[in-house]
Amino acid sequence: MSLLQVKNLVVEFPSRHGTLRALDEISFDIAPGEILGVVGESGAGKSLTGASIIGLLEPPGRIASGQILLEGQRIDNLNNDQMRSIRGRKIGAIFQDPLTSLNPLYSVGKQLTETIQAHLPVSDQEALQRAIALLQDTGIPAAAERIDHYPHQFSGGMRQRVVIALALAAEPQLIVADEPTTALDVSIQAQIISLLKNVCKKRGAAVMLITHDMGVIAETCDRVAVMYAGRIAEIGPVHQVINHPEHPYTAGLMASIPDMDVDRERLNQIDGAMPRLNAIPKGCAFNPRCPQVFDRCLNERPDLAAVSRSGQNTPTQVACWLHHANTLEGVS
């Protein structure tokens, strides 16, 4: 049973020059206790997907069609008050810059206890004890003393731990983490990644981890969805997608990662750039940059279809005409 189901999600932005489609028929699911990574270049639609799930789409952006279901119940058609009761209680959010998530005028203890009491029927003392326990669980030393400190009194890595504690305050089933390690030192990144994995395992929470860092994906996730120009290009078990990428875009992303065992002067790169929303090409959106493009790619847009290699238990789903001849029958 999936905890989160996203079905054919379309997000549009009206403009003077017409309606721009930022997310185009996105579909995926996340099971309880699973970490799904969402990766791609800037502008691919990763953060927009997360914002749609949390209910924080910036106007004039709107969900034009599709469904978002949490525990089988639709949440994409709820009003602001209904969504506010779900956000925090059932869905926690972790953002890239902890300073934007924390109020500089309130102590972290006050922010934690207010969040806890907004969603759970507990006394002031119970909320305080729960807040201290959350800080301890997220690796804040001397949590009982630091509970009264303000955000500016914490380092960047410690602030991000506080944000994770806030996201977990009401024990949500789903956590949407948008670039949670980007602004941190590499050593702190590793600690935050380990913390997310432990939280997922200990609490059984599902995590949607949005990032552009394939290293973070490889270390953290069970499955990965690769996005390009508002669509999912490839989705599957993380070790299969990383070691045997099926889509040329995924292969390009993997080839661009430096290999410490290979001595070369230049890094591999994907030529060109992500298309603007008002200039997405006909057919496959990746066709102007694809080294394996052929006629069908220029005229027809491929849908996700399951492709299985020998020895794989779970097929990878790929939106690429190169593989449609090898797709599994009955899977789309």
Q: What is the pLDDT of residues 242-295, one digit of tens each?
A: 999 999 999 998 887 776 666 666 667 888 899 999 899 999 999 999 999 999
90 located within any domain: yes
CA distance 259 to 262: 6
Q: What is the pLDDT of residue 187?
A: 79
Q: What is the mean pLDDT of residues 177-196?
A: 83
58 located within any domain: yes
**Is the bond into 60 cis (omega within 30 degrees of 0)?**
yes
134 and 62 in a common domain:
yes
32 located within any domain: yes
332 located within any domain: no
**Residue 91, H or E segment:** strand 91-94
- Report the domain count for the chain: 2
Higher-confidence residue of 15 and 106: namely 106
145 and 10 in a common domain:
yes
156 and 237 in a common domain:
no
| CB count in 10 Å sphere of residue 5 | 17
CA distance 36 to 235: 10
CA distances from 64 to 11, 27, 131 (A): 6, 14, 39
Range of the domain at 155: 4-227
Q: What is the pLDDT of residue 331?
A: 38
CA distances from 211 to 92, 179, 243, 318 (A): 17, 5, 19, 20
Report which residue type is found at 125: Q
281 and 174 in a common domain:
no
Q: Tell the residue number behind the tokens 């602030």, with chain if given.
A: 159
pLDDT tier, 332 (very low <50, low <70, confident <90, very high otherwise) = very low
294 and 161 in a common domain:
no
CA 215, 219, 225, 230: dihedral to nearest 10 degrees? -40
137 and 219 in a common domain:
yes
pLDDT tier, 21 (very low <50, low <70, confident <90, very high otherwise) = very high
155 and 114 in a common domain:
yes
Q: How many residues does the chain have?
A: 332
- CATH code: domain of residue 216: 3.40.50.300
Residue 303 makes CB contacts below 8 A (sequence gap 6+) with: 319, 332
121 located within any domain: yes
Q: What is the pLDDT of residues 48-104, one digit of tens each?
A: 999 999 999 988 999 999 999 999 999 999 998 999 889 989 999 998 877 778 999
pLDDT over 50 at 328, yes or no: no
pLDDT over 70 at 325, yes or no: no
155 located within any domain: yes
308 and 184 in a common domain:
no
245 and 146 in a common domain:
no
Nearest to 96 by CA among 210, 215, 229, 217: 210
CA distance 5 to 69: 5
Higher-confidence residue of 37 and 216: namely 37
Question: Final residue of a domain: which of 193, 227, 261?
Answer: 227
107 located within any domain: yes
pLDDT tier, 228 (very low <50, low <70, confident <90, very high otherwise) = very high
127 and 19 in a common domain:
yes
pLDDT tier, 180 (very low <50, low <70, confident <90, very high otherwise) = confident
Nearest to 317 by CA among 217, 239, 245: 245
Q: What is the mean pLDDT of residues 128-132?
A: 96
Q: What is the pLDDT of residue 327?
A: 46
Q: What is the pLDDT of residue 263?
A: 66
Q: What is the pLDDT of residue 90?
A: 93
260 and 197 in a common domain:
no
Q: What is the pLDDT of residue 261?
A: 66
- Residue-averaged pLDDT of the chain: 89
117 located within any domain: yes
Chain-centroid distance, C-alpha 187:
21
What percent of the chain is predicted at pLDDT more than 90?
63
pLDDT tier, 329 (very low <50, low <70, confident <90, very high otherwise) = very low
Residue 209 makes CB contacts below 8 A (sequence gap 6+) with: 35, 36, 37, 38, 177, 180, 196, 216, 217, 220, 221
Question: Final residue of a domain: which of 211, 227, 243?
Answer: 227
319 and 245 in a common domain:
yes
Question: Final residue of a domain: which of 227, 252, 278?
Answer: 227
Record the pTM: 0.90
